[in-house]
Amino acid sequence: MVELSPSILSCDFSKLQENLDQTKNTPLKMIHIDVMDGVFVPNISFGFKVIKDIRDKNDYFFDTHLMIVDPIRYVERFKEAGSDRITIHYESCENPLDVIKKIKSLGIEAGITLRPKTELSKILPLLKEVDAVLVMSVEPGFGGQSFIESSLDRVRDLRDYTDKNNLACKIEIDGGIKTTNVEKVIKAGCDEIVSGSDIFGKEDIKGQIEKYYEIFEKNPL
């Protein structure tokens, strides 16, 4: 089944654990953690302590997306804080493969992503090395943006490439996803769906998660 990865970037940070408590007793298995440094993207989010503080209270797979420069400096600390997967940007370092190998050496999953304007061909040789490829369907750095429709073509191309080459990496999408458009990204070939404001921006967080899984059940992989 398709999996949902709600982005805690859209939580009310004065009530972060309260928001996360509202995700309990649902089919949810993972949460998405967006880390921004104010350099790679023009915004700053949070770091190790937030991840560590919520780790013990939440039995989820921590899907951590690093929007930071030179991420190899910090992957060990993100692993120690509780990350189960670390996804890096192709554009954020000189040798993404070295970073991927470092992440994998820590015994956790590695992912690769890229900006919407970066050519998809840049990361194709890396897909055999990673556990997930993340399609950014908005410009990285801010929540609440509108979905970039051309992202569907990227998903289809990735699905075709991974299937033809018998690759096991998951295809994830992040940006502008709502219950009103999630069906088309699943049909394009996505395995994992990141959604922020359409979940944590709702009054009934639990009910909204359940709506997503109802859609997933009607659209199996």
Q: Tell me which residues are annotated as active site.
A: 34, 174
Tell me the residue type at 125: P
What is the rounded distance in angstroms from the CA atom of residue 143 to the CA atom of residue 220? Answer: 27
Q: Is 5 exposed, middle or buried (0-12, 13-18, 19+ CB in 10 A)?
A: buried
Residues near 66 by Cβ (< 8 Å), separated by ≥ 6? 35, 74, 78, 86, 87, 88, 89, 92
What is the rounded distance in angstroms from the CA atom of residue 210 to the CA atom of residue 90? Answer: 33
* Residue that has been written with the tokens 């060990």 in this structure: 76
Residues near 21 by Cβ (< 8 Å), separated by ≥ 6? none
What is the rounded distance in angstroms from the CA atom of residue 88 to the CA atom of residue 92? Answer: 7
Q: What are phi and psi of 108, to 5 degrees?
A: -125, 170
